[in-house]
Amino acid sequence: MAARLVRKYEGLSLAPYFCPAGKLTVGYGHVILPHELDLRGGVDLAEAERLLLRDLAWALFAARDVGRVLEDCEAAALASLVFNIGPEAWRGSSLRRCVVVGDMEGAAAQFCRWNKAGGRVLPGLVKRREAERRVFQGWLNELD
Protein backbone atom coordinates (compact mmCIF):
# COMPACT_ATOMS: atom_id res chain seq x y z
CA MET A 1 0.00 0.00 0.00
CA ALA A 2 2.71 2.48 0.96
CA ALA A 3 4.66 1.82 -2.23
CA ARG A 4 1.56 2.54 -4.34
CA LEU A 5 1.01 5.84 -2.52
CA VAL A 6 4.63 6.90 -2.96
CA ARG A 7 4.72 5.90 -6.63
CA LYS A 8 1.52 7.85 -7.29
CA TYR A 9 2.56 11.07 -5.55
CA GLU A 10 6.34 11.10 -6.07
CA GLY A 11 6.21 10.10 -9.71
CA LEU A 12 9.19 8.54 -11.45
CA SER A 13 12.23 10.32 -12.82
CA LEU A 14 15.11 8.23 -14.09
CA ALA A 15 17.22 11.39 -14.39
CA PRO A 16 18.26 13.37 -11.30
CA TYR A 17 16.35 16.56 -10.52
CA PHE A 18 16.06 19.04 -7.69
CA CYS A 19 12.86 18.57 -5.70
CA PRO A 20 10.88 21.60 -4.43
CA ALA A 21 12.88 21.43 -1.18
CA GLY A 22 16.08 21.83 -3.21
CA LYS A 23 17.43 18.29 -2.73
CA LEU A 24 18.98 16.29 -5.56
CA THR A 25 16.54 13.44 -6.15
CA VAL A 26 16.10 10.48 -8.50
CA GLY A 27 13.68 7.60 -9.05
CA TYR A 28 10.59 7.76 -6.87
CA GLY A 29 11.70 10.66 -4.68
CA HIS A 30 14.99 9.14 -3.49
CA VAL A 31 17.21 11.91 -2.12
CA ILE A 32 20.72 11.29 -3.42
CA LEU A 33 23.08 11.12 -0.46
CA PRO A 34 26.69 12.40 -0.62
CA HIS A 35 28.12 8.86 -0.84
CA GLU A 36 25.78 7.91 -3.74
CA LEU A 37 27.78 9.56 -6.50
CA ASP A 38 26.85 6.79 -8.95
CA LEU A 39 23.17 7.85 -8.80
CA ARG A 40 23.97 11.33 -10.13
CA GLY A 41 24.06 9.87 -13.62
CA GLY A 42 20.51 8.58 -13.30
CA VAL A 43 18.93 5.19 -12.73
CA ASP A 44 16.99 2.57 -14.63
CA LEU A 45 13.56 1.32 -13.57
CA ALA A 46 14.97 -1.64 -11.63
CA GLU A 47 17.26 0.62 -9.61
CA ALA A 48 14.42 3.09 -8.97
CA GLU A 49 12.30 0.24 -7.60
CA ARG A 50 15.17 -1.04 -5.44
CA LEU A 51 15.71 2.44 -3.99
CA LEU A 52 11.98 2.85 -3.37
CA LEU A 53 11.73 -0.42 -1.44
CA ARG A 54 14.86 0.37 0.59
CA ASP A 55 13.64 3.88 1.43
CA LEU A 56 10.17 2.59 2.30
CA ALA A 57 11.66 0.00 4.66
CA TRP A 58 13.16 2.68 6.88
CA ALA A 59 10.06 4.88 6.53
CA LEU A 60 7.81 2.04 7.61
CA PHE A 61 10.13 1.21 10.51
CA ALA A 62 10.00 4.85 11.67
CA ALA A 63 6.21 5.04 11.19
CA ARG A 64 5.63 1.90 13.27
CA ASP A 65 7.85 3.13 16.14
CA VAL A 66 4.90 4.54 18.09
CA GLY A 67 4.46 2.04 20.89
CA ARG A 68 1.24 0.56 19.54
CA VAL A 69 0.04 -1.78 16.82
CA LEU A 70 -1.14 0.04 13.71
CA GLU A 71 -3.68 -1.09 11.15
CA ASP A 72 -2.08 -1.75 7.75
CA CYS A 73 -3.78 1.30 6.25
CA GLU A 74 -2.51 3.51 9.09
CA ALA A 75 1.04 2.23 8.70
CA ALA A 76 0.95 2.67 4.92
CA ALA A 77 -0.24 6.26 5.14
CA LEU A 78 2.30 7.10 7.83
CA ALA A 79 5.13 5.44 5.88
CA SER A 80 4.25 7.57 2.84
CA LEU A 81 4.33 10.67 5.02
CA VAL A 82 7.64 9.72 6.69
CA PHE A 83 9.13 8.89 3.26
CA ASN A 84 8.32 12.44 2.20
CA ILE A 85 9.08 14.51 5.32
CA GLY A 86 11.96 12.45 6.74
CA PRO A 87 12.37 10.66 10.05
CA GLU A 88 13.57 13.71 11.99
CA ALA A 89 10.48 15.77 11.15
CA TRP A 90 8.29 12.74 11.88
CA ARG A 91 9.82 12.14 15.32
CA GLY A 92 9.08 15.71 16.39
CA SER A 93 5.64 15.97 14.84
CA SER A 94 2.35 16.50 16.63
CA LEU A 95 0.90 13.88 14.26
CA ARG A 96 3.25 11.26 15.75
CA ARG A 97 2.42 12.41 19.28
CA CYS A 98 -1.29 11.87 18.52
CA VAL A 99 -0.60 8.34 17.23
CA VAL A 100 1.52 7.51 20.29
CA VAL A 101 -1.36 8.36 22.65
CA GLY A 102 -3.95 6.64 20.43
CA ASP A 103 -5.69 9.80 19.23
CA MET A 104 -6.19 8.61 15.66
CA GLU A 105 -8.79 11.28 14.84
CA GLY A 106 -6.37 13.95 16.01
CA ALA A 107 -3.59 12.32 13.98
CA ALA A 108 -5.75 12.28 10.86
CA ALA A 109 -6.41 16.00 11.29
CA GLN A 110 -2.65 16.69 11.35
CA PHE A 111 -1.85 15.39 7.84
CA CYS A 112 -2.93 18.64 6.20
CA ARG A 113 -0.27 20.58 8.13
CA TRP A 114 2.50 18.91 6.09
CA ASN A 115 1.74 20.68 2.81
CA LYS A 116 4.85 22.84 2.34
CA ALA A 117 8.23 22.44 0.67
CA GLY A 118 10.76 25.22 0.49
CA GLY A 119 8.42 27.30 2.67
CA ARG A 120 5.59 27.24 0.09
CA VAL A 121 2.28 25.40 0.08
CA LEU A 122 2.38 23.04 -2.88
CA PRO A 123 -0.88 21.85 -4.49
CA GLY A 124 0.64 18.39 -5.02
CA LEU A 125 1.38 18.07 -1.31
CA VAL A 126 -2.14 19.22 -0.44
CA LYS A 127 -3.52 16.38 -2.61
CA ARG A 128 -1.03 13.86 -1.28
CA ARG A 129 -1.77 14.66 2.36
CA GLU A 130 -5.51 14.38 1.77
CA ALA A 131 -4.98 10.98 0.13
CA GLU A 132 -2.72 9.86 2.98
CA ARG A 133 -5.28 11.01 5.53
CA ARG A 134 -8.03 9.09 3.78
CA VAL A 135 -5.91 5.93 3.54
CA PHE A 136 -5.01 6.38 7.23
CA GLN A 137 -8.73 6.36 7.98
CA GLY A 138 -9.33 3.23 5.90
CA TRP A 139 -10.41 4.73 2.58
CA LEU A 140 -8.27 2.40 0.47
CA ASN A 141 -9.71 3.57 -2.85
CA GLU A 142 -7.28 6.52 -2.63
CA LEU A 143 -4.65 4.15 -3.98
CA ASP A 144 -6.31 3.89 -7.40
Q: Which residues are catalytic?
A: 10
β-strand pairing of 30-31 with 116-117: unpaired
- How far apart are alpha carbons 30 and 6 in whole angstroms? 11
Query: Cα angle at 128 between 100 and 118, to 5 degrees?
Result: 90
| Contact in structure between 77 and 135 (CB atoms under 8 Å) | yes
For the chain, the C-alpha Rg in angstroms (whole number) is 15
